[in-house]
A and B are shown apart, each in its own frame.
Chain A
Amino acid sequence: MNKELSRQERADALGGMGCKRKRVEDARFTQGKGNYVDDIKLPGMLFGDFVRSPYAHARIKSINTDAAMALDGVVAVLTAADLAPLGLHWMPTLAGDKQMVLADGKVLFQGQEVAYVVAKDRYIAADAVELVEVEYEELEVIIDPFASLKSDVVLREDLVAEDGSLPDGAHGPRKHHNHIFTWEVGDKETTEQVIGEAEVVAEDMFYYHRTHPCPLETCGCVASMDKVNGKLTLYGTFQAPHAIRTVVSLISGIEEHNIRVISPDIGGGFGNKVGAYPGYVCSVVASIVTGVPVKWVEDRMENLMTTAFARDYWMKGKIAATKEGKITGLWCHTTADHGGFDACADPTKFPAGFMNICTGSYDIPVAYLAVDGVYTNKAPGGVSYRCSFRVTEAVYFIERMIEVLAIELNMDPAELRRINFIKKEQFPYQSALGWEYDSGDYHTAWDKALEAVDYKGLRAEQAQRVEDFKAGKTRSLMGIGLTFFTEIVGAGPVKNCDILGLGMFDSCEIRIHPTGSAIARLGTISQGQGHATTFAQILATEIGLPADSITIEEGDTDTAPYGLGTYGSRSTPVAGAATAMAGRKIRAKAQMIAAYLLEVHDDDVEFDVDRFVVKGAPEKFKTMKEIAFAAYNQAIPGIEPGLEAVSYYDPPNMTYPFGAYVCVMDIDVDTGVTDIRRFYALDDCGTRINPMIIEGQIHGGLTEALAVALGQEIAYDDMGNVKTGTLMDFFLPTAWEVPNYETDHTVTPSPHHPIGAKGVGESPHVGGVPCFSNAVNDAFKAFGLRHTHMPHDHWRIWQTANKLGLHG
């Protein structure tokens, strides 16, 4: 008989929660053996490609498809006129608006889909696109949301009644024909009164520029209609395959059981692949019409120019405090540029997402937030780029507001944060804008971060640098960026979170096989997050079978239980909880089986890592592997054969990860070139499932934060032309631009989550953006700068220095 393993050795053998298990996905990804949408090749498959508008705002006078149709190999050219009889020339958006699938009389942004060419290969399709003749009549272009609200130009004639009145939008009354909604939260009257009577008020406008998630794999799909059995299979880059199935069913009228949506391997999403795009609808229609599969895959320019953007918020803020720095109230008005259609991906009741987390990590007694959504001639979208719904905007707002208040108070911004943090004993904490923060220990994390970087030493060094600069000894300035963020993730409780009426629960179904291995299927879909690795770790700990013996499968709506998908750091908080709960159902049944096998009462056995033991007699036990076999070969009175469970988890609350970041940056005042000398990131995501994957997520999120803060943008000229439509101009950092990140952590478990985990994929982005930006702003603080807008690329930094008179 083998030597009996210790308890710890048995736990280690499972590869469960807390260990740095290597990613099981990487064997295929690192060998180029992933299976992405564009790898799918079906017999007879045709290819779709779009004719897109070169204009940002124009009426369409005519479309002539004759020359394109005459090209050998072209099968069809669809226009809005072809889709109209099917009612498919428009489609609903996730935000309760509707969007043209193909231009219906006019176009509202550059790159808008005008016609859809279907051809035998993608080369012929591209040639045919050139042959479609579209006659446009240019209209006045509106790029600025403030100008839009004053303009006589009506962008959306479909939203104005015949008598000229404005019907309510999806979120209530509209003030102007280019206005989408007003969303108000909090106590306006008291907040304004507090600000009016405050000892100190800081006020500023913060523009969070328009950018784009830019996953390495662009969006695409393969639609395959089987006319014999009436079943539609839709492969696609979908972050929410089940929701897509329901939407396709509602739009097309095909019964949901006849639709199978499959998300294969996905090369990054970051919010870009949450929404439904015209390419999906056109491909489905084309497959129905032709009876053969149709593939559509965007190129990079199409992805950057037309599929969902992120941010584009103008945030005006006022913050009130006592002379000692105690914050007494916060006011924010945001003008949100949504482009030509409101296609934001937010829970239905939250037209500006969770922007009302903008009181941040601070105990602010009263607050008020209003958001006005506005139409302009830009691409639709408004997705949560590596963040929960609009949380990056909210955290950027409060973390810049705090810095501006510190200037107003002439107070150290680290100290200002400290005296306003929500205290550990205040959790669960009710925020002034309606959230219940689950848990936190902000002071401990802050002290740890400041000590790790020698904050006082950095400030002394910075003061010396300023002296040297003024004395002409250096042309370099030093910025210290601070950020303390609180995220709100894990959407969410069905009582207040739904998308198109679908509650934002998630699910897990587990089948234990007779030999003690298992498959678990979830309603989420990994886009690189490593779900196959981490969810198996949760289960290994919960059910006592090795992680290596557990297959995790996601993304096929015919096999996986219904779920709302992966975005907003919701997979671990929601599907991870469902996984733990389903595991516990397995364990409960296993306990009964073990008791039967050990011939004791159910209550006399207890779970011990990988087995059930008789209480007080640990030598009497049945391993989970033995129990699994018994479930399939023993007739146990009162217990059904088999060992399976399914759990649908409706979270009682959101989770609130937090973190403390410090960035040390040197800035060449003459060229505007920045050098990030140090970046320290302390994250508290509650219980840590796989520290290696957490670290990877933090590195990735910080890198995307660096990108956004220092140069990444979707910029338009006055004519509505996209100026950053290729990766030459759209900044994606490489290893060369990325500093060495120092990661650290504290652990404050979520009290309401079954395993205490909070989610981590987006924290570094949410916290990183204001941290990089604060470093740039901080560098110029000694010379009178209050605030300068992102992105902090070379010329804008140079311009800031120039305005401050630093170029002599």
Chain B
Amino acid sequence: MIPAAFEYHRPKDMAGVLAVLVEHGDEARVLAGGHSLIPMMKLRMADVPHLIDLQDVDGLSGITVDGGRIRIGAMTTQSDIIGHAALAEAAPIMREASLQIADPQVRYMGTVGGNVANGDPGNDMPGLMQCLDATFILVGPDGEREVQARDFYEAAYMTDREDDEVLVAVAFDAPSGGYAYEKQKRKIGDYATAAAAVLLVKDGDTCSSASIAMTNLSDTPVWSEAAGDALVGTSVDAAAIDAAVAAMLGDIDPTQDNRGPIEFKRHAAAMILRRAIARAWDRA
């Protein structure tokens, strides 16, 4: 549980960060809250000869709610999200999900940027970002570029981010309608056995828009377009929910681990989605 020796860099600005990244390529990693990367280094599962601490870099934290657009800096902690009144008003699903991440001590350190950029399929924010159709803002030697959350994840710990890029912010439109983040876990602090992020818009008695994403049920987060489509145009009745669940089950690919066999995970995923849809529809 002792990491291999590494060089510790603490640049004052993004130019300094990028300089180290450009020089060392995949031998360098940025450090945000450290709750994924540092345990991996201590287990010697991640070999990081150059660690770049982002905490002295200005402009990476903070939440802005500007009209209908929300931007959250990468170094914003989950605790910051939970405590931000305007964000809770504009996108209450962010607060509901953040309260289910790890435990209060971790949430004081854990950041949005780290959570989405690490590519850990167990993390809650990637699925949530896909559900919100968020945009990730990356900065590299060639400047800034944007990637949709739904296009960002390739495999476990593999993302669209280049080795010399830093994810600096996430941005998304304030969602309307009903929402729910439902998560089954074994204990406080655990990753999800199954989790579902659901956003539903109600028009009269009919669902006019639906977005559904699942967490820790594949090697990437799963935004199930088909599951959402199954609800759109319906009154979210039993048949529609069955169809949405069936569609979601077609999109996930869980593996067996200590949380249980595949059959159980598929069952749990179905239950969690049903509950999330019910709660979101109730709030819509």
Contacts and interface: CB of A to CB of B under 8 A. Distances in A.
B5 A123 contact: yes
A799 interface: yes
**Which range contains the number of A residues in contact with the other chain?**
20 to 34
Contacts of B267: 670, 798, 802, 807
Contacts of A731: 186-187
B5 A673 contact: no
B187 A798 contact: no
18 contacts: A122-B2, A126-B2, A130-B4, A671-B184, A671-B268, A711-B187, A729-B258, A731-B187, A734-B103, A736-B103, A737-B187, A793-B260, A794-B264, A795-B259, A795-B260, A795-B261, A795-B264, A802-B267
B188 A734 contact: yes
A494 interface: no
Interface string A714-754: 01000000011000110101101100000000000000000
Interface string B178-218: 00000010111111010000000000000000000000000
B44 interface: yes
Range of interface residues on B (Cβ < 8 Å): 20 to 34
Contacts of B103: 734, 736
Main secondary structure of the interface of B (DSSP, over half): loop
Contact of B264 (A723, A728, A798): A798
A81 interface: no
Interface string B261-284: 100100110011000000000000
Given A130-B4, A300-B1, A798-B268, 5 more contacts: A670-B271, A723-B258, A728-B191, A736-B187, A793-B186
A157 to B, nearest CB: 33
B258 A715 contact: yes
B178 to A, nearest CB: 22
A130 B191 CA distance: 30
Contacts of B260: 793-795, 798
Contacts of A807: 267
Interface string A648-688: 00000000000000000000001111000000000000000
Nearest to A798: B264
Interface string B1-18: 110110000000000000
Interface in A93-135: 122-123, 126-127, 130
Contacts of A802: 267
Contacts of A728: 190-191
Nearest to A737: B187
Contact of B184 (A301, A724, A794): A794
A255 interface: no
Contacts of B186: 711, 731, 793-794
Contacts of A799: 261, 264
Interface of B: 1-2, 4-5, 44, 103, 184, 186-191, 193, 258-261, 264, 267-268, 271-272
A723 B267 CA distance: 23
A199 interface: no
A126 B6 CA distance: 14
Nearest to A300: B1
B1 A734 contact: no
Contacts of A671: 184, 268, 271-272
The 7 nearest A-B residue pairs measured at CB? A795-B260, A126-B2, A299-B1, A736-B188, A795-B264, A729-B258, A670-B271
B263 to A, nearest CB: 8
A724 B190 CA distance: 14
B201 to A, nearest CB: 27
A301 B2 CA distance: 12
A673 B184 contact: yes
A548 B45 CA distance: 52
Contacts of B44: 130
Nearest to B272: A671
A794 B2 contact: no
A670 B274 CA distance: 11
Interface string A751-779: 00000000000000000000000000000
A24 B96 CA distance: 43
A301 B264 contact: no
A299 B268 CA distance: 34
Contacts of B191: 728
Nearest to B260: A795
Contact of A123 (B2, B189, B193, B264): B2
Nearest to B194: A671
A724 B258 contact: yes
B41 to A, nearest CB: 12
A465 B44 CA distance: 51
Nearest to B264: A795
Contacts of B258: 715, 723-724, 729
With most chain A CB atoms within 10 A of its CB, the pick from B44, B103, B186 is B186
A737 B188 contact: yes
B1 A794 contact: no
Interface in A127-161: 127, 130
A733 to B, nearest CB: 7
Contact of B268 (A130, A724, A793, A794): A794
Nearest to A125: B2
Interface string A544-559: 0000000000000000
A731 B259 CA distance: 11
A240 B264 CA distance: 45
Nearest to B184: A671
Contacts of B259: 794-795
A807 B187 CA distance: 24
Interface centre among B1, B187, B190, B260 (most CB of A within 10 A): B187
Contacts of B4: 127, 130
Contacts of A794: 184, 186, 193, 259-260, 264, 268
A794 B190 CA distance: 13
Q: Which of B44, B190, B271 has the most CB of A within 10 A?
A: B271
Contacts of B2: 122-123, 126
Contacts of B264: 672, 794-795, 798-799
A123, A300, A798 — most chain B CB neighbours (10 Å): A798
A72 to B, nearest CB: 12
A291 to B, nearest CB: 25
Given A671-B268, A711-B186, A794-B193, A301 B1 contact: yes
A734 B186 CA distance: 12
B35 to A, nearest CB: 12
Q: Tell which of A123, A670, A733 has the most Cβ of chain B within 10 Å.
A: A670
Contacts of B193: 794-795
Contacts of B190: 728
Given A130-B44, A670-B271, A734 B189 contact: yes
Nearest to A301: B1
A68 to B, nearest CB: 14
Contacts of B271: 670-671
A299 B5 CA distance: 18
A712 to B, nearest CB: 10
Nearest to A793: B186
A794 B193 CA distance: 9
Nearest to A668: B271
A218 to B, nearest CB: 10
Nearest to A123: B2
Contacts of B189: 734
Contacts of A670: 267, 271
A198 B252 CA distance: 54
Contacts of A672: 264
Interface string A281-312: 00000000000000000011100000000000
A592 to B, nearest CB: 60
Nearest to B1: A299
A300 B2 CA distance: 12
B268 A734 contact: no
A539 B190 CA distance: 47
A296 to B, nearest CB: 14
Contacts of A723: 258
Contacts of A127: 4-5
A208 to B, nearest CB: 19
